[in-house]
Amino acid sequence: MSTYSVEFLIRTFFICLKAIPVTLYLAAVTLLVSIPLGFVFALIRLRQKGIAAHFAGAYITVFRGVPIVIQILLLYDMFPPIFAGFLKAAGVSYNIYNLNPVIYALIIFSLSTTAGLSEVFRSALATVDKSQMEAAETAGLTRFQAYRRIILPQALASALPNICTSTVNLIKMTSLAFFMTVKEITAVAKVAAGVGYNYFEAYTDIWLIYIIVCLAVERLFKVFEKKITLYKSAQER
């Protein structure tokens, strides 16, 4: 068993820092996909009835209820062989196994995050009084204009703390991308640790880096939250 190596800890810390852009890329692209989709699903559940609402509800229930590790096992390990069989039967020569694992990671994280954000947006929209929309339509605004100028700023102020929590959880979730051979922080640390079995030091590095990144994200959301609150107060006056 190797002894605890401070030198390895420091050296690997800086190696892992180089993987932060991959983690942030996964989180950023996932949010770019999940925020608008989550908002659409929230509107469907609030405003629609019938098949669309039932589909949205079932989707959210499934992807919020199934652990992300199971989703990875199903979509990354089991889906490619099944899809490859369909392609072969259809006479398509595309090799599904050549698909970049980052794409799998983005799809899986987006599916899960969309479900979570949908509930965040639904609860935030529910806090805005229905009379706000009625007053906007009476004033001659279209529904789109009413949402953009009145409903969304108020809902966003309520949703922002939960969006921050979802973003932090997403950043931590990206550590599971190493299951899909994506070279993010956790994967880089585990590879470095495998040479001399310095896993304790590597896990310490992972722990420190995720704390730093998540604290930075929380700080950015605090700044944004203050600006949104000021904007909302100015509108109310």
Contact present, 148 and 102 (Cβ < 8 Å): no
* pLDDT of res. 27: 97
Each residue's pLDDT, cut to its tens digit, for the chain (237 residues) gives 557 889 999 999 999 999 999 999 999 999 999 999 999 999 998 877 789 899 999 999 999 999 999 999 999 988 888 888 888 888 888 888 888 999 999 999 999 999 999 999 999 988 887 777 777 777 777 777 777 777 887 888 889 999 999 999 999 999 999 999 899 999 999 999 888 788 999 999 999 999 999 999 999 999 988 877 765 655 555
SS (H, E, C) 216-230: HHHHHHHHHHHHHHH
**Residue 163 to residue 219: CA distance in whole angstroms:** 13
**Residue 161 to residue 13: CA distance in whole angstroms:** 30
Domain boundaries, the chain: 6-236
- What lies within 8 Å, CB to CB, of 101 at 6+ separation is 76, 177, 180, 181, 182
Render 196-207 in DSSP notation, one character per residue: HT-HHHHHHHHH
**Residue 99 to residue 108: CA distance in whole angstroms:** 14
Which has the closest alpha carbon to 115: 157, 69, 67?
A: 67
Contact present, 108 and 142 (Cβ < 8 Å): no
Q: Using alpha carbons only, how large is the chain's radius of gyration in Å?
A: 22
Contact present, 27 and 170 (Cβ < 8 Å): yes
Which has the closest alpha carbon to 64: 34, 43, 99, 40?
A: 34
Which has the closest alpha carbon to 104: 178, 202, 193?
A: 178
- Looking at the domain 6-236, which fold is it? MetI-like fold (1.10.3720)
* pLDDT of res. 227: 79
* pLDDT of res. 237: 56
This prediction has a pTM of: 0.88
Q: Around Cβ 215, how many Cβ atoms within 10 Å?
A: 11
3-state secondary structure of 153: helix
Which has the closest alpha carbon to 154: 232, 234, 43, 236?
A: 232
Ramachandran bin of 72, using left for φ above 0, alpha for ψ from -120 to 50, beta for the remaining angles: alpha
**Residue 59 to residue 110: CA distance in whole angstroms:** 13
In angstroms, how far is the first alpha carbon of the chain from the final one?
67
